[in-house]
Structure 1
Amino acid sequence: MDEDIDIGGRVAALRRRRGMTQEDLSEKTGLGIATIKKIEQGGSARMETYHAIARFFGKVTLAFAEPTSPTPGDEYQDPALAAIRAAINPPIDISGEPMFDVGVDEPDLRVLGRAIDSVASAYYADRYDDVAQLVPSVVRSAHLHVRELDGRERERAQQLRSDVLGVAGRYLIQVRQHDLALMALRDSLKDAIAIGDQPLAAAAISSQAWSLMRQARFGEVEELCVQASDQIEPRMSRATPEQLSAWGWLQLRAGAAAARNNREAEAREFHSMAAAAGARLPGEVDTAEHLMFGPTTVSLKTIEAELILGHPDRALELSQRVPDDVGTRLKTGVNRHYIDRAKAYVQTGDTDSAFGVLAALRQKAPEWLRYQQAAREVGEDILASPKRMPSRRQREMADFLGVPM
């Protein structure tokens, strides 16, 4: 295919090669005729729209994607992030050293550990404002400990610094600050490698893969995770929970990237390997970098992949098997699953059920929900439903999610 042809031209050329009208392509992909016309006329679309077209034509998703500028006002602009930037990405002076004040307090690893636990607890409780306030001082404290301590104590300080940078990176992904997140995760990985902590390093790579996927860098994610998982592949009969979790998460990230890039067979294989790791555990385990892993986590990610691969009925069927009582630490993963469930309802034409899922999520996790681009997309699809005028509750939800009416 000629790389000089724009996306609209590629879609139109492939459609005509198959002797199809725009109406035919709309019917085959499940996309609106207006969407097909918009794309062929040079307009942009959501990544999942490109994925649907690519899946039909048997192409990788990025054959229909190209770099675009972010939508103005689309990013999280809380001024509290300025302090996080200063801690994670400080200016570099003429000597090549970072410029920041790490303070003069005496190092205390127990106090630092408790502070990092507080950051992690705030993150998993969706208290994002608390995370933004806590992270700068805790990261600076971690730098102080690494600078001031020696030997085993310094290694422990590096482990803790890797931990807090990992949590900070995942928070920054949630608020869509991906480049800053990648900086935090890069430094988290460096500390983990320096002390030889493979599970912690793998967890940092897994979170890095998550951020790269948010930037639609699917091929890079798959290659990154395959390379890392090959290096740390555990012997299942002897592996510790941390080793199984680290390796399993790399399979899940690779599977998610493959699914998004229209590589169905590879996606299923990655998820199968993750399931094998999860089956060796008695349940969900809390391991490196506060990541949960186990059979339920694998099920949630498998359902997500089924939806991405264009099987909403299968996703809804599998979602009925997700247990209701998953505990606080798996809450974010389950909440993300509910957005997938709402999306599956939309794709099967049941917009009322989709709205019900979003309404329940707003009651349960409002702070988390308002940062979810996937929820906004579901809201857009519900409002675009031709059934009737939006209800008052739907309009309120649109205002909450920032969906234009």
Structure 2
Amino acid sequence: MADVDEGRYIGQRVRMVRRRRGMTQQMLADRAGLSRGAIAKYETGERPVDSRRVLLDLAAALGVTIGDLTGHDQEKLNPATANFHSAVPELETVLWTRGNITDSAPSKSLDELARMARHATKLRHDCDYETLGPMLVPMLTDSYRHVHDAPAGVAGERAWDVFGTIAYGVASALRARGYHALAWNVAQEVERAAERSGEAAQVAAAAFGQGQIMLSRPGALRASLTTTMGAAEKIAPEAHTRGEIETLGMLHLQASITTATLGGDPEPYFAEAAEQAARLERADADTSTARNESFGSANVTLWRMSSAIERREPDRVLELAPQVRADDLPNEGRKAQYFVEIGRAHGMRKRHEEAMYSILRAESIAPQHVRGLSPVRELVGHMMRTARRDLTTGPLGKLAERVGALEAPGSARG
């Protein structure tokens, strides 16, 4: 068994911040609504922080963000996604200036931007952030220029629609890489685009993006639910096109995971999402560029698995898994997440070998995504401290290095 002080895990940062705050384990336990024994196990790595709710409670009690505990500062230095992270400062500039930057390159047409947005969406869904990063600044800049010059009427509405789709993609990518505050600023622009374009799918996309971002802040869970369900109720009567139904269905899926995190029953939201998925085949043609092609019956099952993980129901995850094949899922990111959830379920059941091979399958599908997931790092690090030595010195040890569960030699300990 590996030394419990080895590796990098959330409990280390909890201990470091707690000590710097001058708090005892009991004080932290009281503030987070946990037992002192649980805090001790998290801090020594004996127990992984494998629940979003626990992570949020710890962050709130310590007065920090989730990123402070999961190590977003180290993720930004990851060479595998350097192209994405290096684009972020310029993205901030584009947002501050609303596209009025010193760039003399001719703007792409709206048709060209719409095609680029579809390609960027595929890259994002397939978790190829390294290729996606350099595309974001020119797309967002050009789309800003089109809305600045947009005429009244249908032509102007289309410019805002394309802008909203591009801004939504930028916000989603930033959130996925841990830039929650900046993602929120872009999500506000998606909401502005929804108002100007008048498209129901854009309204849903804006609310979905905002709801996902709010899940990263301890005090925003109920606001996340209110935002997503308020938009769902608003657009439900007019949701007839494929994009509208997709984005409406995703609002219900977002509500399900928020409800599970709050400790409630997510099933009513899953039932509504399943109903929307059944409507897709007879949907009308799209009027907006806003889509969420991840949505469908297979994705509903995957979100059920994620909800069961949040509720710490590993047997339910493993019961749901055979109901969908990875190949039924629409993109590489979703396929990888399917195996991540199976791996986490096996990890909760202390089936280390099965957990390791599931995570390895996920990593082979979407390495940039899987290697950056804090739940994967927590699981792999925990297995390194508790699994058989033949696993820790073999493929598990190599996996731990790739996902950052091991500290670099000479790094400071909390």
TM-score (norm 2): 0.78
In the TM superposition, 1:243-258 aligns within 5 A as 243-258=244-259
The match for 2:385 is 384
Inter-partner Cα distance in structure 2 for 1:260 and 1:213: 9
The match for 2:400 is 398
Q: Shift of residue 346 of structure 1?
A: 0.7
Aligned residue among 192, 203, 211 for 1:190: 192
Aligned residue among 230, 233, 236 for 1:230: 233
Q: Does 1:221 align with 2:211?
A: no
Aligned residue among 159, 172, 193 for 2:161: 159
Distance verdict in 2 for CA 1:244–1:381, change over 3 Å? same
Inter-partner Cα distance in structure 2 for 1:50 and 1:114: 39
The match for 1:317 is 319
Inter-partner Cα distance in structure 2 for 1:385 and 1:355: 13
Distance verdict in 2 for CA 1:98–1:364, change over 3 Å? closer
Distance verdict in 2 for CA 1:92–1:377, change over 3 Å? closer
SS at match of 1:293: coil
Q: Please list the CA deviations of residues 269-313 of structure 1 after superposition, one character each: whole Å capped at 9, or x if unmatched.
A: 222221222222349999834442111111111111112112110
Checking the alignment, whether the CA contact within 8 Å between 1:199 and 1:243 is kept in structure 2 is: yes
In the TM superposition, 1:79-118 aligns within 5 A as 81=85, 83-90=87-94, 99-101=100-102, 103=104, 105=106, 108-118=109-119
SS at match of 1:280: helix
Inter-partner Cα distance in structure 2 for 1:76 and 1:104: 29
SS at match of 1:234: helix
Checking the alignment, whether the CA contact within 8 Å between 1:107 and 1:144 is kept in structure 2 is: no
Residue identity matched to 2:320 = L
Checking the alignment, whether the CA contact within 8 Å between 1:9 and 1:40 is kept in structure 2 is: no
The match for 2:309 is 307
Q: Please list the CA deviations of residues 344-370 of structure 1 after superposition, one character each: whole Å capped at 9, or x if unmatched.
A: 001112110000011122222222222
Inter-partner Cα distance in structure 2 for 1:145 and 1:106: 8
Checking the alignment, whether the CA contact within 8 Å between 1:251 and 1:273 is kept in structure 2 is: yes
Checking the alignment, whether the CA contact within 8 Å between 2:167 and 2:187 is kept in structure 1 is: yes
Q: Does 1:296 align with 2:313?
A: no
Inter-partner Cα distance in structure 2 for 1:39 and 1:372: 18
Q: Which one has the bigger helix percentage? A: 2
Count of paired positions: 366
The match for 1:9 is 30
Inter-partner Cα distance in structure 1 for 2:313 and 2:134: 41
In the TM superposition, 1:129-208 aligns within 5 A as 129-151=130-152, 152-208=154-210
The match for 2:270 is 271
Q: Please list the CA deviations of residues 312-352 of structure 1 after superposition, one character each: whole Å capped at 9, or x if unmatched.
A: 1011011111124226x433122112111100001112110
Percent pairwise identity: 18
Checking the alignment, whether the CA contact within 8 Å between 1:379 and 1:403 is kept in structure 2 is: yes
SS at match of 1:68: coil
Residue identity matched to 1:276 = E
Inter-partner Cα distance in structure 1 for 2:135 and 2:28: 44
Checking the alignment, whether the CA contact within 8 Å between 2:215 and 2:258 is kept in structure 1 is: yes
Checking the alignment, whether the CA contact within 8 Å between 1:85 and 1:180 is kept in structure 2 is: no
Bigger Cα displacement from structure 2, 378-387 vs 199-208: 378-387
Inter-partner Cα distance in structure 2 for 1:87 and 1:142: 13
TM-score (norm 1): 0.79
Q: Shift of residue 51 of structure 1?
A: 4.0
The match for 1:120 is 121
Inter-partner Cα distance in structure 1 for 2:28 and 2:131: 42
Checking the alignment, whether the CA contact within 8 Å between 1:142 and 1:160 is kept in structure 2 is: yes
Q: Shift of residue 91 of structure 1?
A: 7.5
Checking the alignment, whether the CA contact within 8 Å between 1:163 and 1:188 is kept in structure 2 is: yes
Name stretches of at least 5 consecutive residues in structure 2 with no aligned partner: 1-25, 408-414
Q: Shift of residue 230 of structure 1?
A: 1.9
What do you get for the CA RMSD once the two structures are aligned? 3.3
Bigger Cα displacement from structure 2, 178-187 vs 387-396: 387-396
Distance verdict in 2 for CA 1:307–1:292, change over 3 Å? same
Residue identity matched to 2:348 = Q
Inter-partner Cα distance in structure 1 for 2:290 and 2:232: 15
The match for 1:344 is 345
The match for 2:76 is 76
Inter-partner Cα distance in structure 2 for 1:175 and 1:40: 25
Bigger Cα displacement from structure 2, 314-323 vs 112-121: 112-121
Residue identity matched to 1:313 = D
Distance verdict in 2 for CA 1:45–1:317, change over 3 Å? closer
The match for 2:371 is 370
